[in-house]
Amino acid sequence: EETGDDESYEYGKGDFMEHACKYCGVQNPACVVRCNVPSCRKWFCNSRGNTSGSHIVNHLVRAKHKEVCLHKDSPLGETILECYNCGCRNVFLLGFISAKTESVVVLLCREPCLNVNALKDMNWDLSQWCPLIDDRCFLQWLVKVPSEQEQLRARHISAQQINKVEELWKTNPDATLEDLEKPGVDDEPQPVALKYEDAYQYQNVFAPLIKLEADYDKMMKESQSKDNLTIRWDIGLNKKRIAYFVFPKEDNELRLVPGDELRLRYSGDAAHPAWQSVGHVIKLTAQEEVALELRASQGVPVDVNHGFSVDFVWKSTSFDRMQGAMKTFAVDETSVSGYIYHHLLGHEVEFQMVRNALPRRFGAPGLPELNASQVFAVKNVLQKPISLIQGPPGTGKTVTSAAIVYHMAKQGQGQVLVCAPSNVAVDQLAEKISATGLKVVRLCAKSREAVSSPVEHLTLHYQVRHLDTSEKSELHKLQQLKDEQGELSSSDEKKYKALKRATEREISQSADVICCTCVGAGDPRLANFRFRQVLIDESTQSTEPECLIPLVLGAKQVVLVGDHCQLGPVIMCKKAARAGLAQSLFERLVMLSVKPIRLQVQYRMHPSLSEFPSNSFYEGTLQNGVTINERQSPGIDFPWPVPNRPMFFYVQMGQEEISASGTSYLNRTEAANVEKIVTTFLRSGVVPSQIGVITPYEGQRAYIVNYMSRNGALRQQLYKEIEVASVDSFQGREKDYIILSCVRSNEHQGIGFLNDPRRLNVALTRARYGIVILGNPKVLSKQPLWNGLLTHYKEHECLVEGPLNNLKQSMVQFQKPKKIYN
């Protein structure tokens, strides 16, 4: 019992028992639990210290971990906390219920087990579900709070220190609090510059930023293991085994995309040995169901459906290619022309004209006629070694790019390389370029060959398979054999690979244009290709090193297309983002006073909808290529407050609401009104595919989806077909009607995501026919840009409140906008 106060235990020296709280060092087994995430396994105590939640709850929230295990010397012994019925281990969903008559308690998850009707007939009392985490702390009778004495002796960690160390653990799980004091750890990396002495200095700045981002990405993905998955088995057309399962989104940070590699595991049972296989995601459904095509078909336990686990297989390929491109840029003099080299580094270079004969007409066959600003862009670009084209929403960026590529290809400078950061953009561009009659090869990553594509006939793998000449019949035969048997003998496999490589090379070389993602330009299959002319679309959405990958294959003439007034590249690592990795090459070149050529006529939005974005983001230069008449939807009876002005700001005063359980964070009123608006649209004859609901937070997104399908006044299926997504996933796309639910209206925190003007621009410019914005003007008006938007809506009598069938102009007072400091 006597511990002795003089005990010479050195707190803060990392000299703890393994199960000591990683924050404060408390090591009483009754007070600590272990985080059960395999990559973490750290212990934390149940005291609050100087924070609003207990240490373990702090950790779970900050790290987004959700499973814990009790200490072996705790009253319950070594126990992973899980739902007694379904095995769910998410502690945020667990709570105790007790038997009606006996002193027996059991852990049960809130959703769905607590709501299973059959339970009511049993001996359990469901009225008193007692959540495991209560008031941001584990139930104190399950995990004891350390005594006052213990807490006084413990390390007094602050919330800031917790945030820092959690951030550190994301890249170095073994880091200690002491590491926070070490020089270098907290140091910000060297920020990006406007100009660089040489390519080595350039590399010295960007290489560490890419490394930071890569480390972060790796940690993020590898911590995303999921257990207890239910699998539905299927077989693909190529005879490969496909596993379907639901991979719930954890937060806004990680999104699965087709081509991602996952490892599926089964731990085995009496009838099945343990099994695992790696596969590629080939499809994602709106219901978050993932289709995983397995690499190996043998030994798959297809008669089992439950108890599978899945991990992310992180690949460094894209980051390696960026690092590789920077190195090539520095060491290989032929990587880009001298002019481009100096220009990219921000050196003063005397302007050079590109001496190429200009075409008489600037349009291209198979494409719509170009307007004046598009013709101007094409003509300009063809004469310059480096040019920037700014394409505001709906201004025909893709058509202009395709016309440029058409004329470049006709100049006889060799093959043209066309890239974009996203596969979707590459596909769209490939389709348009192909329409001009040029021979296009769309090069896909090997991992995406099974992913369906709208331009499949242009893809290299498709063309290889369907090349129909007699000399290729050997390859054809081997391919057939491989498809039927799943694999080939080693000598046949060798022969097959050699033949395939030769065919790939032949097809690629005979193309006029190669299309691939920026990262795809680093594919070994293009290693010996040279491209003098490179066009990069959506270049404002890629990082500089990513942009460099297609450039270092010999670029002499570079066209960057994009819009720096819309969203930039997504950088996960805050440190790297702060240092400037989120700034695109396009933006830096703009700052180096390369003047972008702006496309000025927009063909998407009803003129009323383009007015505010044009004035706020494009100095009022955006002209309308569509008339009010062309954007009138006959027969659609929707209560727009001002006829001919299909827009309104729907005032929502419903504050963020905390449900009775104290656990829910939502703007339910807003969600309910989204459903009403959607229903009104549907009733008036709009079809689901015409409607897009934009909402910033994953929580609200899921809530709206769920709410609409449960409470929607019309057929459930209709609501399921409506796309509800984040602003970011709507970039580059359009819908006829957009409903924007701002969700957050938090007095302390500001308005979070909505603060970024570029995101607001994107949100406001997706709709063709009409837009409804739901939000709280009192909170939003504090931000200058939002204040402007609200004033604009008010001036046009489009700021309204009340029931949808009786909208009245709102007299709500705005707040003074705060100054922005940059």
Q: How many CA atoms lie within 13 A of 514 on its CB side?
A: 30
Binding residue for Zn ion, selected from 29, 30, 40, 323, defined by CB under 5 A:
40
Q: Of 307, 219, 223, which is closest to residue 265 (Cα–Cα)?
A: 307
Whichever of 161 and 380 has its CB closer to Zn ion, that residue is 161
**Contact status: 162 vs Zn ion (CB under 5 A):** no
Whichever of 64 and 758 has its CB closer to another protein, that residue is 64
Compute the least distance from the CB of residue 437 to another protein, in Å.
46
Q: What are phi and psi of 224, to 5 degrees?
A: -95, 30
Segment 76-105, which members bind Zn ion (CB under 5 A)?
83, 85-86, 88
Q: Of 174, 225, 180, which is closest to residue 64 (Cα–Cα)?
A: 225
**Contact status: 32 vs Zn ion (CB under 5 A):** no
Name the DSSP letter for residue 388. Answer: E
DSSP states of 400-450: HHHHHHHHHHTTTSSPEEEEESSHHHHHHHHHHHHHTT--EEE---GGGTT
**Contact status: 176 vs Zn ion (CB under 5 A):** no
How big is the site for Zn ion, counted in residues (CB under 5 A)? 17
**Contact status: 24 vs Zn ion (CB under 5 A):** yes
Compute the least distance from the CB of residue 159 to another protein, in Å.
4
3-state secondary structure of 266: strand
CA dist list (Å): 258 to 282, 284, 401: 5, 7, 26
Residues making up the chain, counted from first to last: 822
How many other β-carbons are positioned within 10 Å of the β-carbon of residue 210?
23
Whichever of 124 and 406 has its CB closer to Zn ion, that residue is 124
* Beta bridge partners of residue 558, listed in sequence order: 386, 534
**Contact status: 37 vs Zn ion (CB under 5 A):** yes
Q: 254 burial class (0-12, 13-18, 19+ CB within 10 angstroms)? A: middle
Q: Of 485, 488, 443, 491, which is closest to residue 464 (Cα–Cα)?
A: 443
Compute the least distance from the CB of residue 418 to another protein, in Å.
38
Rg over CA atoms, the chain: 29
The encoded tokens of residue 272 equal 């099945």
3-state secondary structure of 767: strand
* Binding partner of residue 164 among Zn ion, another protein, none, CB cut-off 5 to 8 Å per kind: none
Whichever of 63 and 743 has its CB closer to Zn ion, that residue is 63
Whichever of 30 and 313 has its CB closer to another protein, that residue is 30
Compute the least distance from the CB of residue 159 to Zn ion, in Å.
13
- Report how far residue 662's alpha carbon sits from residue 83's, in angstroms, rounded to the nearest whole number: 21
How many other β-carbons are positioned within 10 Å of the β-carbon of residue 238?
12
Whichever of 1 and 188 has its CB closer to another protein, that residue is 1
CA dist list (Å): 527 to 12, 550, 552: 53, 11, 11
Whichever of 221 and 407 has its CB closer to another protein, that residue is 221
* Binding partner of residue 63 among Zn ion, another protein, none, CB cut-off 5 to 8 Å per kind: Zn ion
Whichever of 708 and 800 has its CB closer to another protein, that residue is 708
Whichever of 96 and 529 has its CB closer to another protein, that residue is 96
* Binding partner of residue 792 among another protein, Zn ion, none, CB cut-off 5 to 8 Å per kind: none
- Report how far residue 352's alpha carbon sits from residue 368's, in angstroms, rounded to the nearest whole number: 31
Compute the least distance from the CB of residue 294 to another protein, in Å.
22
Compute the least distance from the CB of residue 285 to another protein, in Å.
11
CB of 776 closer than 8 Å to CB of 653: yes
**Contact status: 23 vs Zn ion (CB under 5 A):** yes
* Binding partner of residue 251 among another protein, Zn ion, none, CB cut-off 5 to 8 Å per kind: another protein
* Beta bridge partners of residue 311, listed in sequence order: 263
**Contact status: 55 vs Zn ion (CB under 5 A):** yes
Stretch that binds Zn ion, among 42-50, 278-286, 316-324, 786-794 (CB under 5 A): 42-50
Whichever of 536 and 694 has its CB closer to another protein, that residue is 694
* Binding partner of residue 21 among Zn ion, another protein, none, CB cut-off 5 to 8 Å per kind: Zn ion
Binding residue for Zn ion, selected from 20, 33, 35, 521, defined by CB under 5 A:
35
Stretch that binds Zn ion, among 59-67, 240-248, 676-684, 703-711 (CB under 5 A): 59-67
CB of 599 closer than 8 Å to CB of 389: yes
Segment 108-137, which members bind Zn ion (CB under 5 A)?
109, 113
* Binding partner of residue 705 among another protein, Zn ion, none, CB cut-off 5 to 8 Å per kind: another protein
Q: Which residues bind Zn ion (CB under 5 A)?
A: 21, 23-24, 26, 35, 37, 40, 45, 55, 63, 65, 83, 85-86, 88, 109, 113
